[in-house]
Amino acid sequence: MSAVQHRETATGTGGRRSAVFEPEHEMLRDQVRRFVEEEVKPNGLAWEEQGFTPREVLRRMGELGFLGIRYPAEFGGSEMDTLATVVLAEELGRSTFSGFAITVLVHTDMASVHVAHAGSPEQKRRHMADIVAGRKICAVAVTEPGAGSDVKAIRTRARRDGDSYVLDGSKIYITNGVLGDLYCVAAKTGAEGERPSRSVSMFLVEKGTPGLRVGRALDKHGWRSSDTAELFFENCRVPAENLLGAEGQGFYAIMRNFQNERVVIGAMAMGEAQAAIDLTLDWLTSRTAFGGPLWDKGAIRQRLAMLQARVEAGRQLVYHAAWLDTEGADATREVSMVKALCGELVNDVMAACLQFHGGLGFMRESTIERMARDARVQSIGGGATEVMLEEVAKRMGR
């Protein structure tokens, strides 16, 4: 039996990856995996070269129902749960093209959620069906040059002027910043000296709004098939009804969605790690050196086996955190663990797998080289490891 055949038959549980999944989750997994094999892997290198994933790809995913997994049926959604989102993220991570994966996941689980959760009935009526169908691409604009994980430190301001708000400031590292149609923007609305957590609001800003300027597409170390941009707001006037939720509640909306975002990133990271192990196992069983396959070398074989054990542990932690969220429990501690552990673990896996590829792993033509570059940001974006560990430490008790 080949390594690939063994992997395909190893679950032995009717295809279920964990006791928390139901048949509909596994059906979704099969559908997403088929899409990745047929439409992503053959085209991903071209997307890397051009620096973005084409809009048509998201439209196709919308047609297949992948962009509205947890949204109401009235907008074309499937009304599934957090576990379904994890399935989507994990399988997109397995594509080996993480720039593509993050393009989709920012749209589905980091940006559009602000419209879905806090949008008015009119905002939802105007936008949600197009979001689910992939006709409108979403971005979330929180990060600023002087405020990364510290949301309270943002400086972009929004002042009320009659029946409008006027935004001034800038954002950086905004995924889908160039191709986005709808930007969910965090801005300070409170007076100077007001409690920071009560002075942030969220606004829906549409592409083409006067005063919104999309800056340069940023040149990144990895995630090359994802567009990332700077945004500038210069006397940018938006209707007052573009406020998402209540004024002063933006910080809490961002914090609430961080839980979902970090589970999604963790699932994506474990998908990436598993793909790297699978790729490396195939390489080790076919590459001959010192009189036999590299897989015959015990030191290599055991190191890869330990990495597989760690990835399985990380994956089950992701599943557990997603299950807690599905059950309505407070999973802040577990989600912070997910982000810290998985972000570091995927980088450990990539370093070892690149090493096992030898000189080929150092070549730009190799898949593992691209995957290692893509994985580096996993311990940074969405909450740096150090920030996440502080969140865990706060909840450890004494």
Q: Are residues 257 and 238 in the same domain?
A: no
pLDDT at 146: 82
pLDDT at 3: 47
Catalytic option among 230, 261, 334, 391: 261
Q: Are residues 191 and 262 in the same domain?
A: no
Q: Are residues 241 and 337 in the same domain?
A: no
Q: Say which amino acid occupies 263.
A: V
Helix residue spans in the chain (DSSP H) = 3-9, 23-35, 44-50, 55-63, 82-93, 98-105, 112-118, 121-133, 250-286, 298-326, 332-356, 367-375, 385-394
- CA 157 – CA 8 distance, rounded (Å): 53
Q: Are residues 157 and 196 in the same domain?
A: yes
What average pLDDT does this structure show over 89-116?
Answer: 98
* Strand, helix or coil for residue 206: strand
Q: Are residues 128 and 33 in the same domain?
A: yes
Q: Are residues 127 and 183 in the same domain?
A: no
What average pLDDT does this structure show over 132-143?
Answer: 97
193 in the Ramachandran plot: left (φ > 0), alpha (ψ -120 to 50) or beta?
Answer: left
What average pLDDT does this structure show over 8-17?
Answer: 46
For the chain, give the mean pLDDT: 93
pLDDT of 101 > 80? The answer is yes
Convert the pLDDT of each residue in 266-294 to its tens digit: 999 999 999 999 999 999 999 988 888 99
pLDDT at 5: 44
pLDDT at 7: 46
Domain boundary among 115, 137, 159: 137
pLDDT at 302: 97
- Residues 229 and 174: beta-carbon distance below 8 Å: yes
Kindly state the percentage of the chain with pLDDT values over 70.
95
Tokens of 121: 């009935």
- The CATH number given to whatever domain includes residue 207 is 2.40.110.10
pLDDT at 17: 62
Q: Are residues 256 and 390 in the same domain?
A: yes
pLDDT at 13: 43
Q: Are residues 210 and 321 in the same domain?
A: no
- Residues 209 and 242: beta-carbon distance below 8 Å: no
What average pLDDT does this structure show over 306-323?
Answer: 97
Q: Are residues 75 and 155 in the same domain?
A: no
Is 344 in the active site?
Answer: no
| pLDDT confidence bin for 308, thresholds 50/70/90 | very high
Domain boundary among 207, 223, 247: 247
Convert the pLDDT of each residue in 151-168 to its tens digit: 888 999 999 999 999 999
Convert the pLDDT of each residue in 193-225 to its tens digit: 788 788 999 999 999 999 999 998 999 999 999
In the DSSP assignment, the letter for residue 218 is P
Choice among 141-145, 267-271, 287-291, 389-393 with the minimum mean pLDDT:
287-291
Q: Are residues 294 and 390 in the same domain?
A: yes
pLDDT at 195: 85
pLDDT of 313 > 50? The answer is yes
The predicted model scores a pTM of: 0.93
Q: Are residues 264 and 356 in the same domain?
A: yes
Pairing of strands 292-293, 200-206: unpaired
| pLDDT confidence bin for 397, thresholds 50/70/90 | confident
* Strand, helix or coil for residue 239: strand
- What is the domain extent for residue 240? 139-247
Q: How many domains does the chain have?
A: 3
Domain boundary among 247, 271, 293: 247
- The CATH number given to whatever domain includes residue 131 is 1.10.540.10
Q: Which residues touch 183 (CB under 8 Å, ≥6 apart)?
A: 111, 138, 139, 140, 141, 174, 204, 205, 206, 207, 212, 231
pLDDT at 398: 57
How many other β-carbons are positioned within 10 Å of the β-carbon of residue 309?
10
What average pLDDT does this structure show over 116-131?
Answer: 97
Of 332, 328, 280, the residue nearest 307 (C-alpha):
280
Q: Are residues 144 and 227 in the same domain?
A: yes
